[in-house]
Amino acid sequence: TYVVTDNCINCKFTDCVEVCPVDCFYEGENTLVIHPDECIDCGVCEPECPADAIRPDTEDGAEPWVEMNRRYAEQWPVITEKKDPMPNADDWNGKEGKLDLLSE
């Protein structure tokens, strides 16, 4: 599976949802997540993210991201169409410590 990591927070560019063949992105207030049981591991979303926030779960240290993505994918609504990014998305891109800002 692929996972959305913390650099999506407060950016939410949503380019990723347009390319996903199985519509497995779910939307919270200020970030998206991928449902790990629905993702077919195609990898097409990874290069589409302007914030480089999508990673394969085979990377070192990815386990907490899989759990985080699963938890919220089960609570949040699916998103299948691109929308405007969050205000100041470009300023938030790459900021440290964004995980604390996640809105549930």
Please report, as ranges, the residues that interact with ligand F3S according to CB under 6 A: 4, 8, 11-16, 32, 49, 51, 53-54
**Contacts (CB under 6 A) with ligand SF4, residues 38-77:** 39-45
CA 32-43-58 angle, to 5 degrees, is 85
With contacts defined by CB under 6 A, name the span among 14-22, 69-77, 79-87, 91-99 that binds ligand SF4: 14-22
Instruction: Residue 4: name its binding partner from ligand SF4, ligand F3S, none (Cβ under 5 to 8 Å by kind).
Output: ligand F3S
The dihedral sign for the CA sequence 13, 81, 100, 62:
negative
Per the structure block, which two tokens stand in for 36? 């790990």
Task: Report yes or no: 22 and 35 within 8 Å, Cβ to Cβ.
Answer: no
Distance (Å, rounded) from C-alpha 37 to C-alpha 83?
A: 25
Give the interface segment with ligand SF4, choosing from 32-40, 65-73, 75-83, 90-98 (CB under 6 A).
32-40
Contact partner, 11, from ligand SF4, ligand F3S, none, Cβ < 5-8 Å per class: ligand F3S
